Chain A
């Protein structure tokens, strides 16, 4: 069913043509990453330096300067890419900027020292498109990350933004939109993997005039930052998905529940909402179609459990974030008792792509049951940390070793943790597994929201289990006894084991408690809280046994079980370690091997960190 396009929709199209017509593809443009990661490395100072230098060297008119969102390769930041050739400069400092302008911009010369060096081949790479980290990816959601300025709605329009919205409003009925999403096979990107189309349909069919939709941007999984990255790079894509979803479901009001810990993402999504209102893309009679919808932004207040949908709804209503039993599901009775549909940031961002390109295009990518691509944050003990987008079904090994670049410092990789505190650890021996919802579940972990934390031989798996249980113990809302008390007891046992007080039977007790907590907790947090324990026991039982029986920590992490010592043959006696030691436990004479007094040592590890000769070891 195609309706005639309204004047407003035609005007939007005209404006897009104008922007595109005014663009000169051969014009030099400098893109500086302004995502939280690069900002932490002072990329704002780099951008300011460019502004100054372009003026000083008299080319501010002919060269465009853009601060973009996160292109993903955070490890190499601050990143600067010179378009149209896409010359890729890494670790750029404000002091490098004058040279970039005078050499690269004005004379087309490449500055060798700022180029990316491929750690596997040792070769320097000039162009962004040739960097293995990017070459192996399939970027759709992240396509505009690093290209457009998230503060400029016109950049998004030039990239084809809000085309899908116009298509949905004027060429499709709400039912057709839902059918398209259903047919595409899109599954929720928040972690549970429920069919998005089915979820929408349930909410559309629910009785009631007032319906709500919510974007869950309460990205709480430690080690995951895809949602932040996406909002900071392309906030309008999320918003466009929500507007289409609201039209399909029949909702007039939407909410974006976003973490308070992400100040930049909050600022950018607020700005995007304001711009969309000004352009008639939000509010009454959107693009003259008769449909109305608006969005409110609510900040989270720092409670992990609010990622759970019923807890999130409670928090939006102004109550404490305690989950409740389902059914009724939010689709029947959600926010203020009204039918409500909640989706994750990435799920919403997929919607415009699917409406624009069709369900068939989407379902060609990925595996039989897990369609499309997925965004991972690949972090931990690997060379290329950052955000990557790959088709579902790619093997863990390909992701970790080829895109992630393998281990740092020549250490041996041991496991990868997926799914945050609800997930588990998958050992290196199983890295042939494809990344999709079902394979990861079979291995005892979950896909979760897409954090992949890679661990090497210097990571203690018992300590990791203790770490996660400490996390969930802290984040448990306290409603269910099994979660509140059970997780606490599991944590205590793990803590004892890591401190050398483990006893025979502890491992079995942990397994038993885990089952009880799982069976008798109400929400996803409690039901999955024990998860890090069974996978680490299943795959790394020998590490648990070493802690319990031999009172040793094979990875050299658990403080009570290790001793720091200096290898005399390696120590030239520079004295750096002694200078940093807060406990004055290191002594020695200049130019002679130093010595650590085990009695005084608190095992803080700073000596090992500062030693340039790898002379400090742990046993």
Chain B
């Protein structure tokens, strides 16, 4: 698969050469593709004039970056302390059972990626999960199925 690099180029146009623009540009590329395609990493190295090994080092160090393609939908479960004491782990295990994946993995049909995050900062409402940017506070393992079902139904455009 060859990813379309024009978007990567547009992003890189905003940054000059050198290490300074590396993390911001990788973050933007990650946002567009939901992961960092190998071709994109190479392009970043070429355009910023830094060795590929440094690009790879940064891309593999920070947790915001994924080197594997991710699913259509991203489920993030908070495992911060406040969510932990209120059952965050129960939540992520239940999602894992329902989707047959572990944290960090993507379902075979590339629909869902399940990720654990260390704190989303809505500790007062723990446990919290985020599905495609929408926050669900005061969650419970027993509510997971409903939330996932509902989001799948919304996939079908509501007004025709």
Q: Which residues of A contact B (CB under 8 A)?
A: 36-37, 39-41, 74-75, 77, 219-225, 228-229, 259-263, 298-304, 315, 317-321, 377, 379-381, 385-387, 417, 420, 451, 453, 455, 459, 464, 467-468, 471, 474-475, 477, 580, 582, 604-606, 609-610
CA A386 – CA B80 in complex, angstroms? 15
Q: Are A261 and B26 in contact (CB under 8 A)?
A: no
* 18 A-B residue pairings within 8 Å (CB atoms): A36-B135, A75-B125, A222-B81, A222-B118, A224-B123, A228-B121, A299-B24, A301-B23, A301-B62, A303-B63, A315-B23, A318-B22, A385-B82, A417-B81, A459-B85, A477-B61, A604-B141, A609-B142
Specify the main secondary structure of chain B where it touches its partner: helix
In the complex the two chains form, is B125's CB within 8 Å of A604's CB?
A: no
A37 touches B124 (CB 8 A): yes
CB-based contact B124/A74 at 8 Å: yes
> Contacts of B122 on A, CB cut-off 8 Å?
36-37, 40, 74, 225
Pairwise interchain contact A318-B82, C-beta atoms closer than 8 A: no
Within 8 A of A (CB), among B27-70: 27, 54, 57-58, 61-65
Most buried by A among B93, B122, B124, B128: B124
- In the bound assembly, the distance between CA atoms of A165 and B37 in angstroms comes to 46
- The count of A-to-B residue pairs whose CB atoms sit within 8 angstroms is 161
* CB-contacts of B116-160 with A (<8 A): 117-126, 128, 133, 135-137, 140-142
Whether A451 contacts B121 by the Cβ 8 Å rule is no
Chain B contacts to A: CB under 8 angstroms: 18-24, 26-27, 54, 57-58, 61-65, 79-87, 90, 93-94, 97-98, 117-126, 128, 133, 135-137, 140-142
- CB of A320 within 8 A of CB of B136, answer no
Residue among B79, B117, B142 with the most chain A CB within 10 A?
B142
Are A320 and B119 in contact, CB atoms less than 8 angstroms apart?
no
Is A319 in contact with B58, judged by CB distance below 8 angstroms?
Answer: yes
CB neighbours (8 Å) of B82 from chain A are 222-223, 379-380, 385, 451, 453
Residue of A nearest to B138 (CB): A41
CB distance from B40 to the nearest CB of A (A): 15
Q: How far is the CA of A11 from the CA of B2 in the complex (A)?
A: 56
Min CB distance A404 to B, Å, is 11
CB distance from A288 to the nearest CB of B (A): 31
Closest chain-B Cβ to A558's Cβ sits at a distance in Å of 12
Neighbouring A residues of B121 by C-beta, 8 Å: 36, 219, 224-225, 228-229, 259, 261-262
Known: A40-B137, A453-B82. 8 other contacts (CB 8 A): A40-B128, A40-B136, A225-B124, A228-B121, A262-B121, A299-B24, A302-B63, A468-B81
Evaluate contact between A381 and B86: CB separation under 8 angstroms. yes
Q: Which B residues are CB-close (under 8 A) to A261?
A: 117, 119-121
In the complex with contacts A385-B124, A459-B85, A40-B23 CB distance below 8 A: no
Across-interface contacts of B133 in A (CB, < 8 A): 263
